[in-house]
Structure 1
Amino acid sequence: MKNSPRLCLKMRNRAFCRALAPVLLLTTMSVSSHVNAQELSLPCDEVEEKVKAATAADEVKRITAFQPAKAIERQAPDYPIEAARRGQEGWVKMSYVIDEEGHVQDPVISDYSGSRAFKRKALSAIKRWTFEPAMKDGKPTQQCHQAVQMDFMMGGRRGASGRFISAYKDVDSIYQQGNYVEADAALQRLHEKDNLNRYENAWLWNMDANIASGLEDWQRELDSFARMLPSNKGDEKKYDVFGDDHIAFVHQRMVILASQFGLYADALSYYDRLNEMEGQQQRIDEIAPLVTKIRDHINSDDAIKVTVTIDKRGNWFHTLVRNQFAFDNIQGDLDTVEVRCDTHREKFTVAEDHVWKIPESWGQCRVLVEGDKSTAFNLIEVAQTTSS
């Protein structure tokens, strides 16, 4: 794509930072706590709705014959005692499968923020969830395209501590001077704190994205914004950390960044979220030509290449916009690739020079790749005409 994120990013981020100087609220923490579990609306779910709307009537009947699973019991995870004592908050995102008997199988953590103990508690809880199984053509079937975000939040604390505000202002002062490497070092010291709440995490990841912008590390910027957004959400709209104008800016920026990396399902999802916001027509109009290019590329005969490096989590998720994909230029060890679709899943060993073809009847799919840290590879989404 010709639309480089670099110039747009530098212009918009600096202007934004001047317009929105940090205004951190100072509050105290209460002793009550609670945990929320919320289903995620994934990019592929949004794509699926568009497919239904644009598909012939007989095809719509085939897709809608699938009845999704219904929750029977979804127990909230226990709040880790030490994290609660520190006032530490965070969230865990997971992908999972519901089998034919309504049990959760193979939950995988895709990302998290906060204590490592949040991951253990979230996994322990989700394995105890039960459902009425999904039905396809009148028979129980797997439901594989599932994701959830579990929020660990303490009641009563909606602002930042005095120590956090002081440390954050020091980082921001260095950042505003354009000393991005020094600002990054100061920010990492904040990342090491084990008592940050949701409000502080939102500001922390937002600054992380800004510094990544200054360092021209676009992947880090995208990842940091993706971590800021879950921390931004309060249990009520009025308790969101950032206002709508900033969140609209973030969604617009994430469309640009995701498109540069070939993450087209994600880019279209961020664009849809921007469209759902009121009073953001200017941002929508600014990004519309890029979205048109994304859709044209998806519908073209040109391959879509996604360049990936496995991080310390040991896995990588990707939502497909085509039903054929392959691997290329693998440097390191990849263990398995699992295709998790609406109504089916398969797990394979990884090989180059092989094209995986996914039946249309499986619905929208995500790919889960597992391998060693620092393993690099290209995932190629193959056009239909290329492989036929």
Structure 2
Amino acid sequence: MRKPLSYSLATLALALFSGLSSAQSEAPSGAPLAEHIATVIEAQPIKRVDPKYPPTSARKSQEGWVKVSFVINKDGEVEDPVVQDSSGLKAFEKATLRAVKRWQYSPAIQDGEAIQQCRNMVQIDFRLAGSSGVTRKFMRRYKAVSEAITNKDLPLAAELIAEMRDDQLWNHTESAYFWLADSYYAKATDDTVRELKSVRRALAVDTDAVRTSTKQYLLEREFVLSINESEYNEAMKAYDKLEKIADEKPEQLAQLAPYAEKVKELVKGNEPMIRKASINEDGRVFHQLSRNAFALDIAEGDLDEVQIRCDNKLSRYTAVSKSQWHIPSSWGQCSVYVSGSPGAQFEVVEVGDYIGEI
């Protein structure tokens, strides 16, 4: 007769706690004791207002998504919401920002006192009931773009992609395949920045209509391109996702594994890490830090502000070339938001000690 499951769990729990107690009691008398730093309770949602579906987008059967970053202040209110990326439709971005500003949380608590919680990001999906698959018109256009790229008729491919972008008559599946097509074009024209952006947008769409083999291809490209752009945290996130779906092509993961190890060694080492960046059309650049100090080296154009968004601290500074910022350990993991004139070029130079999440 099989024993009840609760009995097995109780026995396992007893064994675990017995081992913990024994380990604590047998510690050498002269061993250093761990020092308590802080007890932090994360902010919890109280009210989340759903964004209103833009009427014009609904009439056109448009779907989309928006990734938004925001700060939760000591009163549990949302501050400084910023669109980090989207499927490309401005109407959805505006609707998301209006809704998120009305959200309310119980504030994060550190050692009994309310604190800011500054690294928060969610993706809002805009979906219509009954929408799935792709239309015949979209499929004809997608095949025409693919054929033009295959035939190396890149001017025609650029024209067709521009027409599809201008129409923006996409549901979620079409959005994924549009950005996939755009990534193919960017790769054919050696535009790595555009390819990386399009690859990430194709991956952001949660749909089973995209085959696993296509997702594997996209994650592999994100891994490689992120390394080329010195976005090492993003590269390792792509690698981790690839590990979870690599059963069909284990040889693909095996080829990338040595590069993943090299990334870990680099990030956790002492050599400066340099990322060349350019302010996008929305006037900003995001960068997740892996070290506890960094500097900006402005090469061309104007930068306005540097926001450092950490787990429990938000700080703003003017963007001064060659200045160096040091991150106190009490701030936690941090991301940098740099704003300025579109096209402005600069370098993010990370130095100091490893504080990342790899």
In the TM superposition, what whole-angstrom CA distance separates every residue of 1:241-288 from its partner, at most 9, and x where no partner exists? 212222122112211110111101101111111122251432221111
Alignment of 1:195-214 (within 5 A): 195-214=169-188
Do 1:300 and 1:383's aligned partners in 2 also have CA atoms closer than 8 Å? Answer: no
- Are 1:228 and 2:202 matched, yes or no? yes
In the TM superposition, what whole-angstrom CA distance separates every residue of 1:271-322 from its partner, at most 9, and x where no partner exists? 1111222514322211111111111111222211111111111111111111
What residue number does 1:165 align with?
Answer: 139
Alignment of 1:109-258 (within 5 A): 109-231=83-205, 233-234=206-207, 240-258=208-226
What residue number does 1:327 align with?
Answer: 296
Do 1:181 and 1:215's aligned partners in 2 also have CA atoms closer than 8 Å? Answer: no
- Are 1:82 and 2:51 matched, yes or no? no
Aligned length: 322
What residue number does 2:6 align with?
Answer: none
Do 2:173 and 2:210's aligned partners in 1 also have CA atoms closer than 8 Å? Answer: no
* TM norm structure 2: 0.86
Per the alignment, in what secondary structure is the counterpart of residue 216 of structure 1? Answer: coil
Q: How far apart, CA to CA, are the structure 2 residues paired with 1:336 and 1:322?
A: 20
Do 1:333 and 1:372's aligned partners in 2 also have CA atoms closer than 8 Å? Answer: yes
State the shift of 1:178 in Å.
2.1
Q: Which of 1 and 2 has higher RCO (CA within 8 Å, sep 6+)?
A: 1
State the shift of 1:214 in Å.
0.8
Do 2:226 and 2:232's aligned partners in 1 also have CA atoms closer than 8 Å? Answer: yes
- Are 1:376 and 2:324 matched, yes or no? no
State the shift of 1:384 in Å.
4.3
Alignment of 1:285-304 (within 5 A): 285-304=254-273
In the TM superposition, what whole-angstrom CA distance separates every residue of 1:70-120 from its partner, at most 9, and x where no partner exists? 011111100000110010111111110000111000101111224311111
Q: How far apart, CA to CA, are the structure 1 residues paired with 2:253 and 2:129?
A: 36
What residue number does 2:332 align with?
Answer: 363
Do 1:342 and 1:364's aligned partners in 2 also have CA atoms closer than 8 Å? Answer: yes
**What is the letter of the counterpart of residue 353 of structure 1?**
K
State the shift of 1:187 in Å.
1.1
- Are 1:282 and 2:251 matched, yes or no? yes
Runs of 4+ in 1 over 6 A off after TM superposition: none
**What is the letter of the counterpart of residue 215 of structure 1?**
T
Q: How far apart, CA to CA, are the structure 1 residues paired with 2:276 and 2:314?
A: 24
Do 1:86 and 1:194's aligned partners in 2 also have CA atoms closer than 8 Å? Answer: no
What residue number does 1:93 align with?
Answer: 67
Q: What's the C-alpha RMSD, in Å, of the aligned pairs?
A: 1.7
- Are 1:340 and 2:309 matched, yes or no? yes
Do 1:88 and 1:196's aligned partners in 2 also have CA atoms closer than 8 Å? Answer: yes
Q: How far apart, CA to CA, are the structure 2 residues paired with 1:121 and 1:197?
A: 17
In the TM superposition, what whole-angstrom CA distance separates every residue of 1:170-213 from its partner, at most 9, and x where no partner exists? 11111111223321221111111132111111110001111111
Q: Which structure 2 residue ranges, 5 or more long, are not aligned?
A: 1-31
Residues 368 and 102 of structure 1: is their aligned pair in 2 closer, same or farther, counting only changes over 3 Å?
same
Do 2:216 and 2:246's aligned partners in 1 also have CA atoms closer than 8 Å? Answer: no
What residue number does 1:269 align with?
Answer: 237
State the shift of 1:330 in Å.
3.4
**What is the letter of the counterpart of residue 242 of structure 1?**
V
Per the alignment, in what secondary structure is the counterpart of residue 58 of structure 1? Answer: coil
Deviates more, 1:365-374 or 1:269-278: 269-278
Q: How far apart, CA to CA, are the structure 2 residues paired with 1:256 and 1:156?
A: 36
Q: How far apart, CA to CA, are the structure 1 residues paired with 2:88 and 2:256?
A: 33
* TM norm structure 1: 0.80
Q: Which structure 1 residue ranges, 5 or more long, are not aligned?
A: 1-55, 235-239
Per the alignment, in what secondary structure is the counterpart of residue 221 of structure 2? Answer: helix
Aligned partner of 1:58 among 22, 28, 34? 34
Q: How far apart, CA to CA, are the structure 2 residues paired with 1:317 and 1:275?
A: 25
Residues 194 and 250 of structure 1: is their aligned pair in 2 closer, same or farther, counting only changes over 3 Å?
closer
What residue number does 2:10 align with?
Answer: none
